[in-house]
Structures are given as structure tokens and as C-alpha cells.
Amino acid sequence: MSAAAFVPFEAPTTKAADEEGSVLRPRFDAAGLVTAVVTDAESGMLLMVAHMDAEALDLTIRTGIAHYHSRSRGTLWKKGETSGALQSVREIRTDCDQDAVWLKVDVAKPEDTCHTGRATCFYRRIDTAGDGRALLFD
């Protein structure tokens, strides 16, 4: 981790200005979070969806290792710290209104990306051929 001091994020201005601007102004929600979409930098596979507060986003940017905010535990969550499935960040993008970020990552231990012991959290497909209420593991 870099020893550089924390640089606060600027507050959002108007949506129109922030959409075309060159300044990162994350639009944190009422709980102080933005949505993080995480894909595998190599395969493009969607791995997980998580959330970041300012601290997690800043640490992710500064260290190049993905950090999130655990909503269930209410704490900073360095992904893979216990499982070994650390995520090295190749690129971070943000969306038009800056309330979501997209991380392209390399995973140290892909088989443990999901806490259920899978390479992705999205291991089930909705069976739209039936009544649309069943899940298929494929």
C-alpha cells in the first residue's frame, strides 16, 4: 500500500456536469456506498457485485487491490484476505452519474471468488422457458 495520504473525494455537483467532467466525484448513496461491478480482466466474466464506501474506493485506487464495504458486517472488506482470492485491479471505470464503478481484476485464487466456493457468484440462470421462477445451475 502506498504511503500517500488520503485525498478526499470531491462532492458531486450537478449530474449533467459530472457526466461530462474529468473529475471523479463519486455519487455515494444515503448509506455512503457506490455499486462495484467486478469482471475478470482476462475472460470478461462477471464475477461479483459488491459495494464500496469512500475508504474502500480510495484504498482500491491507491493499492491496486480490491477493497469493498461489507454491508452485512458493516466493515471494510479486503476481498480475499482470508480466502486468498485477492483481486488485483487492472482498470477502474465509472459510469455516467458516478454511482457505480467497474473493476477489471485478476484473481489470485479464482475458485474462491464466491464464498460458496465458485469462480463467480453468478452460477445460476433463470429458466425463462418455464414460469420464470426456477434457477438452473449452468
Binding-site ranges for a copy of itself (CB under 8 A): 4, 7, 9-10, 19-24, 35, 37, 39, 44, 46, 48-49, 58, 61-62, 64, 89, 91-96, 100-102, 114-116, 121-126, 128, 131-137
Question: For the chain, how long is the longest CA-to-CA vector?
Answer: 55
User: Between residues 75 and 90, which has the closer beta carbon with respect to a copy of itself?
Assistant: 90
How would you classify residue 74: left for phi > 0, otherwise alpha for psi between -120 and 50, otherwise beta?
left
User: Between residues 75 and 126, which has the closer beta carbon with respect to a copy of itself?
Assistant: 126
Instruction: Kindly state the smallest distance separating residue 109's Cβ from a copy of itself, in Å.
Output: 17
Instruction: Kindly state the smallest distance separating residue 51's Cβ from a copy of itself, in Å.
Output: 9
Instruction: Kindly state the smallest distance separating residue 38's Cβ from a copy of itself, in Å.
Output: 10
User: Between residues 73 and 133, which has the closer beta carbon with respect to a copy of itself?
Assistant: 133
CA 98/CA 26 separation, integer angstroms? 5
Phi, psi values for residue 95, rounded to 5°? -100, 180
Instruction: Kindly state the smallest distance separating residue 33's Cβ from a copy of itself, in Å.
Output: 11
User: Between residues 22 and 82, which has the closer beta carbon with respect to a copy of itself?
Assistant: 22
Q: Alpha carbon of 25 to those of 8, 76, 103, 106, 125: distances in Å?
A: 10, 21, 17, 26, 35
Place of cell 493499492: 63
> Coil, helix or strand for 90?
strand
